[in-house]
Structures are given as structure tokens and as C-alpha cells.
Amino acid sequence: LQKSLSEIFGADKYSRARKEVLTYMFSRPMQMALYFCTGILADESLFHHYALNVPFYTHFTSPIRRYADIVVHRLLSASLGARSPITMEKEAIQKQADHCNDRKMASKRVQELSADLFFSVFVRVRP
């Protein structure tokens, strides 16, 4: 697939834009990861990461980026004994996870609409 796409990108002044748009459009259908509280879910198979093929997986980045990452850092620190235990109930943590998922979904939708608009303008102005 990558070889085929590389041939389509070309080498003209639009090749970089074409590459970004097409790469985005091909990765768009991939399933988006969701935040959840492990204490709420009884089925541990839901903790599995398909692409990495590991049974238990958590993801986080720098805690300065997103609220969800701050929560994950705090929970991991507490579980390792590096800080005091979290006093939030698991239902409250799940409510925060749901809110983060809603915001992430809204952000993704705006990004998709923006890309669609860019692509439409790109196709319209191209001879």
C-alpha cells in the first residue's frame, strides 16, 4: 500500500499536500482508542491492545498535554506507591473518561470536517 501511495504522490508542487491528504484519508477508518476505568469493566479482554498484541495496555503522554494523561499519571503513581492513593470512586473516574472520550470525538469530527474542506478546495483549484 505504501509503495502504491508513494507513486501517486508524485513530485510536483502539490505532492506534499496530496501525501498528507491521502495518508489521512486512509488512516481515518481506524478504530479510535477510548478511555475507560478498569474498575468498571469486568471483561479483561477489553484491556487488550490489538496492534501490539499485549493483554494489558495503557497509553499516556506527557501530563502537560491532556487531562486524561494527568489522571493516568496520578493513578500509575498511586499504584506504584509514589504518591497517596486516589480518593475518587471508580464511577467518578469513568465519568471523567466518558467526558474525555466525548471531547476527543468532537475534536476528531472537527478535524475531519476541516480536512474535507481543505480537500474540496484543493480539488477545486487544481486544474
Given this model, what pLDDT does residue 110 score? Answer: 94
> HSE-up of 116 (CA within 13 Å, CB side)?
7
Q: Encode the chain (127 residues) as per-residue pLDDT tens digits.
A: 667 767 777 777 878 887 887 777 777 666 677 888 888 888 888 888 877 888 888 877 777 778 888 888 888 899 899 999 888 899 999 999 999 999 989 988 998 899 889 888 888 887 6
Q: What is the maximum alpha-carbon separation in the chain?
A: 63
Given this model, what pLDDT does residue 24 score? Answer: 73
Which DSSP string do the residues of 14-42 spell out, in sequence order?
THHHHHHHHHHHHHTTSPPP----TTT--
Given this model, what pLDDT does residue 92 score? Answer: 93
Entry pTM: 0.64
Given this model, what pLDDT does residue 8 score? Answer: 72
**How far is 34 from 48, CA to CA, in rounded Å?**
12
Given this model, what pLDDT does residue 115 score? Answer: 85
